[in-house]
């Protein structure tokens, strides 16, 4: 089975987890590149605002043929109780190329699994993910 691990990471946590997941599954790795400056406290606030408003902020161009993979593992951080904006953009833009989806969400909270975000991701994709992982870190 050909697996692609796709991730967006603002501050490195998701990157580390995605790299480990890709290595352990012998999968390819693809970064969702941000085109918005999210550095520092201003970037943090801007990101929270974009997330709350459910904005699809622009991402870098992707040349990988996503449809050639049997499964796509989508990894991203929780922002303001919802998905990070670049992940939302990725799902919207590439949903037609994703045959089978799996989700990995990282967040700071120890007592929330953010199941609602998985539901929202399914709605955007128009399919139900085969696996959902919620990690606190």
Ligand X SMILES: Cc1cc2nc3c(=O)[nH]c(=O)nc-3n(C[C@H](O)[C@H](O)[C@H](O)COP(=O)(O)O)c2cc1C
For position 106 contacting ligand X by CB under 6 A, the verdict is yes
Q: Is 13 left (phi over 0), alpha (psi -120 to 50) or beta?
A: alpha
Q: Cβ contacts of residue 117 below 8 Å, gap of 6+?
A: 78, 81, 82, 83, 105
For position 14 contacting ligand X by CB under 6 A, the verdict is yes
Q: Beta-carbon neighbour count of residue 46 at 10 Å?
A: 17
Site for ligand X in 45-84 (CB under 6 A): 47-48, 77-81
Nearest residue (CB) to ligand X, 63 versus 111: 111
For position 41 contacting ligand X by CB under 6 A, the verdict is no
Position among 107, 117, 118, 132 found at the interface with ligand X (CB under 6 A): 107
Nearest residue (CB) to ligand X, 9 versus 69: 9
In whole angstroms, the minimum distance from the beta carbon of 114 to ligand X comes to 7
Q: How far apart are CA 133 and CA 20, in angstroms?
A: 14
Nearest residue (CB) to ligand X, 101 versus 106: 106
Q: How far apart are CA 136 and CA 82, in angstroms?
A: 15
Print burial letters for 78-105: b (CB count within 10 Å at least 16), e (below 16): bbeebbbbbbbbbbeebeeebebbbbbb
Position among 44, 99, 113, 120 found at the interface with ligand X (CB under 6 A): 44
Nearest residue (CB) to ligand X, 19 versus 28: 19
For position 33 contacting ligand X by CB under 6 A, the verdict is no
In whole angstroms, the minimum distance from the beta carbon of 72 to ligand X comes to 18
């Amino acid at each position: 089975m050909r697996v692609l691990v796709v991730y967006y990471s603002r501050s490195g946590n998701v990157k580390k987890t995605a790299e480990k997941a890709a290595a352990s599954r012998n999968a390819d790795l693809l970064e969702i590149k941000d085109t918005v400056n999210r550095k520092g406290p201003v970037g943090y606030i801007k990101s929270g605002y974009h997330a709350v408003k459910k904005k699809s902020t622009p991402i870098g161009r992707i040349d990988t043929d996503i449809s050639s993979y049997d499964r796509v593992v989508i990894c991203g951080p929780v922002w303001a109780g919802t998905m990070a904006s670049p992940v939302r953009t990725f799902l919207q833009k590439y949903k037609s190329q994703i045959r089978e989806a799996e989700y990995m969400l990282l967040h700071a909270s120890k007592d929330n699994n953010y199941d609602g975000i998985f539901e929202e991701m399914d709605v955007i994709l128009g399919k139900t993910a085969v696996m959902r992982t919620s990690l606190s870190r």
